[in-house]
Amino acid sequence: LFDKSPPPWELVAAEETAIARVVFSQSPHGPYDYAIPDAMRSHIQPGSRVRVPLGRRRGGTMGWCIHVDMAGKSRHKLREISELLDEEPLCDPALVRLVLWIAHYYQAPAGQVFDTLIPSSVRSSAGTKQKTYFRADPKDLTEEIVAGLSPKQQAVARILLAANAPMTAAQISIQVGCTEDPIRRLHKKGLLSSERRREQNSGMTTRWQINDGEAEKTHHLTDSQSDALKQINQAVESEKTKVMLLHGVTGSGKTEVYIRAIEHLVKFGRGAIVLVPEISLTPQTRGRFERRFDSVAVLHSQMTPAERHFQWQRIRSGEVQVVIGPRSAVFAPLPKLGLIIIDEEHDGSFKQDTQPRYHARKVAIARANSLGIPVLLGSATPSLESWHATRTGHAERLSLPDRVRDRAMPDVQLVDMRIKDDRTVGAISRPLHQAVQETIHEKGQCILLLNRRGFATTIQCPSCGHVVACPDCDMPLTHHRDGGKAMCHYCDFCIATPPWCPACRFDGIRYGGLGTQKLEVEVKARFPNANVARMDSDTMRRPGSHQKVLSAFRSGKIDILLGTQMIAKGLDFPNVLLVGVINADSALHFPDFRAAERTFQLVTQVAGRTGRGDRGGRVIVQTYSPEHPAIQAASRHDYIGFAEDELINRKKYNYPPWGSVARIIIRGTEEETTERIAEELVGRIEATRDLLKHEIRILGPAPPPIARLRGKFRFHALLQCPESGPLGETIRRACQDFRIPEKDDVQYVVDIDPMDM
């Protein structure tokens, strides 16, 4: 599993000693063995943080203990651990096992995985203060000694003796009516003992008040909801690992099933984790859980470090029944975890795009395996991985085929944008324009989806053809109207939009392509009497702005809500009578084997936002490829048809879920050097594959779709194998002692089960 060669200390005769194996988040990552001093033996455990000497670094280095052997043998003289940093380990043994599994599977240093698992606010004890407590022992402070003290010191001594409990200097001085001076003097004389304790700052709020004027009703479950619930409850009670996929169309009441399942397991004193995509973590979702459970912890990205630490402590104390959060909540330290639920399990945000590049679904299943508990995945558009798992017996399928309250799925109309009659000047076709008008006339609400933010997606000179691009990424800049900025959406590069062509000075540069800002201008011009709001990451920068727009929409103050995929997920508003998809093809022609799947998901999800009330709903999808199977299937609400066809397509090329894929990305400041090193690395992988006789197909190295990013040239290689084990082994072996000279300034990353190409 690990490189076990210790640093070259002195060789000694092997002798029995207590040994701890320690890993580090910074290079060198270890693991290295250290001797455990006698005083630490009864406290140290796997998961403990320690300070140890490492190389020549002064003051020692913080590391994580992953293994303890009280009767270890070492042929080397080991250095000793200098300090044990936590009274209780921050990770229990099951979480330590999970860390080691992630480190192995995703090929990341275990120290880095610990740092991902334990929030930095917990490591630094954010929001707590060190306080000094004083205590008096009657054996030291006899009546005789007390009588000989100054009057203030006597008063301090008497208060402490009477209290018979430790007190802070502030508490004592208030009671005595003195400064802290006499307390310090007594302490200096050795008449008082002291201890330091960490305490939570006061004033921490336990809960956010959710009040959106909605009462959470307990519904009478539909037959398919009851059937699904029965299966889930059985799995929870059986205390066995089982993966279940709840495939329920949009509006079929999946959340109600989650809530009932948790209500059931809470009766056994167990808790649950509910993972949701970050942008679905709306007050609406939160409210539904907070109204039904006494103790909910919501983890989200806008928490202060102190809040995060506080919630972590609450969760760990066992007080919390339900934890809701994005992918990192999969690590929530509930002591009696009974179920992990992943809502919208197909969502791309469950994969982390920095090291360790884990997928929360995979980690959830690994964690559940080690605890013997079930995992419940839910979606209207399951990932093909999860769908395939139900076909091979790795997961059980539960279905909610219909919407609740006999509501029909909305009608979907495809508008072929290649036909002139449907096209008008601008982004909105005649049929869509008419539908919006009718909807507003009927006092209904509209949602318009366009998956591009900004105003114009290209800035091009009509005279010489020059496209204004990012100097660091080579990608076209997007023009943003607010402030007239040209921005790179791949890095933070931003300039004032040039008024003339930077190449030929032609005065009359054109803004091409459509972003949400331009759409907003057009919609406002077409429907001057409607209230229009835009929701994309530009308008949602400030905390709370999300909630503000959604509650305005709920109350009917907004007629047309337009935005990026942010508006495609989870929203449940009965008065939405129309959903318009401005350009369904935007994700279709990406060089990525998941392009069709993404398109199907996006169209289905946004279509699901309508028809949720008594007045029905309809969907208009504008597309240049109306015959594409993904768009056809989405228009028929036919997930199974789509999935089965797409599985056949993937099989042809052995793409997931049929086989495993790994991606290696090599990046560097110099193109030639980067390419040379990429070739070298891929060559090693080839050699290792041949040596191990594994069936691995290697594509590349070649420039990826984004060939330059943040000033670095990029190359990538895609590796395919029928199974994940041999693939991982080959990469691990090939990379084991692959060192790149520092002067070349080239780095590489290994991405196991990549989600982006």
Task: Report the interface residues with Zn ion, using CB under 5 A.
Answer: 470, 472-473, 488, 490-491, 493
State in angstroms the smallest separation of the CB of 406 from ligand ADP. Answer: 10
The reply on whether position 254 binds ligand ADP by CB under 6 A is yes
**Cα separation of 731 and 724, whole Å?**
11
Give, as ranges, the residues between 561 and 600 that touch ligand ADP (CB under 6 A). 572
406 within 8 A of 141, measured Cβ to Cβ: no
Nearest distance from C-beta of residue 502 to ligand ADP, angstroms:
48
Q: Does 255 bind ligand ADP (CB under 6 A)?
A: yes
Q: Which is nearer to Zn ion, 252 or 674 (CB)?
A: 674
- Angle, helix 671-692 to helix 724-735, in steps of 10 degrees: 120
Q: Which does 493 bind (CB under 5 to 8 A by kind): Zn ion, ligand ADP, none?
A: Zn ion
> Of 38-46, 250-258, 439-447, 747-755, which part binds ligand ADP (CB under 6 A)?
250-258
**Binding residues for ligand ADP, how many (CB under 6 A)?**
16
Q: Is residue 252 close enough to count as binding ligand ADP by CB under 6 A?
A: yes
Which range of residues in 218-226, 269-277, 545-553, 692-700 is near ligand ADP by CB under 6 A? 218-226
State in angstroms the smallest separation of the CB of 345 from ligand ADP: 12
Measure Cα distances from 181 to 169, 173, 283, 371 in Å: 9, 9, 51, 54
| Interface with ligand ADP (CB under 6 A), residue from 25, 74, 222, 390 | 222
Closest to ligand ADP by CB, 197 vs 219, is 219
Interface pick for ligand ADP out of 248, 374, 617, 754 (rule CB under 6 A) = 248
Which secondary structure element, helix H or strand E, spans residue 430, and what is its range?
Answer: helix 430-441
If binding is defined by CB under 6 A, does position 230 make contact with ligand ADP?
A: no
CB of 222 to ligand ADP, least distance (A): 5
| Whole-angstrom distance, CA of residue 251 vs CA of residue 103 | 38
Three-state SS letters, 159-190: HHHHHCCCEEHHHHHHHHCCCCHHHHHHHHCC
- The least CB distance from residue 598 to Zn ion, in Å, is 23
Q: Which 3 state secondary structure label does DSSP give 307?
A: helix
Contact partner, 490, from ligand ADP, Zn ion, none, Cβ < 5-8 Å per class: Zn ion
Q: How far is the CB of 570 from ligand ADP (least distance, A)?
A: 7
Q: How far apart are CA 593 and CA 583, in angstroms?
A: 20
Per CB under 6 A, 25 contacts ligand ADP: no
Count the neighbouring beta carbons within 10 Å of the beta carbon of residue 494: 15
Tokens of 58: 């002064």
Could you give the CA distance from residue 464 to residue 213 in angstroms, rounded to a whole number? Answer: 58
Contact between 405 and ligand ADP by CB under 6 A: the answer reads: yes
Token pair for residue 471?
Answer: 């100097």
Q: Which is nearer to ligand ADP, 216 or 695 (CB)?
A: 216
Residue 402 or 675: the one with the smaller Cβ distance to ligand ADP is 402
617 binds ligand ADP (CB under 6 A): no
Q: Which of 74, 225, 390, 599 binds ligand ADP (CB under 6 A)?
A: 225
Contacts of ligand ADP in 359-378 (CB under 6 A): none
First to last CA, the chain: 29
Site for ligand ADP contains 404 (CB under 6 A): yes
Q: Which C-beta is closer to ligand ADP: that of 80 or that of 214?
A: 214
Residue whose token pair is 């041949």: 690
Q: Which residue's structure tokens are 């040209």?
A: 486
Stretches 87-95, 173-181, 243-251, 591-599: which one binds ligand ADP (CB under 6 A)? 243-251
Q: Decide whether 166 or 704 has the Cβ nearer to Zn ion.
A: 704
Q: State in angstroms the smallest separation of the CB of 250 from ligand ADP.
A: 5
CB 50 within 8 A of CB 22: yes
Interacting partner of 254 out of ligand ADP, Zn ion, none (Cβ under 5 to 8 A depending on kind): ligand ADP
Asked whether position 250 contacts ligand ADP by CB under 6 A, the answer is yes
Q: Which residue has the tokens 């190359």?
A: 715
Interacting span for ligand ADP (CB under 6 A) from 216-224, 274-282, 479-487, 626-634: 216-224
Q: How far is the CB of 9 from ligand ADP (least distance, A)?
A: 59
Give the range of 175-183, 214-222, 418-426, 677-685 binding ligand ADP by CB under 6 A. 214-222
- Options 72, 182, 251, 283; binder of ligand ADP; rule CB under 6 A: 251
Closer to Zn ion by CB, 293 or 493: give it: 493
The contact mask relative to ligand ADP for 256-285 (x = CB under 6 A, - = no) is x-----------------------------
Q: Which of residues 73 and 219 has its CB atom nearest to ligand ADP in the complex?
A: 219
Q: Are residues 473 and 467 in contact, defined by beta-carbon separation less than 8 angstroms?
A: no
| Range 615-637 burial, b when 16+ CB lie within 10 A, else e | eebbbbbbbebbebbbbbbbbeb
Query: CB–CB of 164/221 below 8 Å?
Result: no
Q: Which is nearer to ligand ADP, 96 or 232 (CB)?
A: 232
Contacts of 573 (CB under 8 A, 6+ apart): 445, 553, 554, 609, 612, 613
For the bound state, the minimum distance from the C-beta of residue 278 to Zn ion, rounded and expressed in Å, comes to: 23
- Nearest Cα neighbor of 307 from 210, 199, 200 is 200
**Binding of residue 219 to ligand ADP (CB under 6 A):** yes
Cβ atoms of 261 and 268 within 8 Å: the answer is: no
Q: What, of Zn ion, ligand ADP, none, does residue 563 touch, CB below 5 to 8 Å by kind?
A: none
According to DSSP, residue 240 is labeled: -
| Distance between CA atoms of residues 320 and 335, nearest Å | 10
Q: Are the CB atoms for 678 and 749 separated by under 8 Å? A: no
SS3 for 450-517 is: CCCCCCECEEECCCCCCECECCCCCCECEEECCCCEEECCCCCCEEECCCCCCCCCCCCCEEECCCHH
Interface region with ligand ADP, contact rule CB under 6 A, candidates 6-14, 189-197, 201-209, 215-223? 215-223
CA angle 68, 71, 77 (to 5 degrees): 85
Q: What are the residues binding ligand ADP (CB under 6 A)?
A: 219-222, 225, 248, 250-256, 404-405, 572
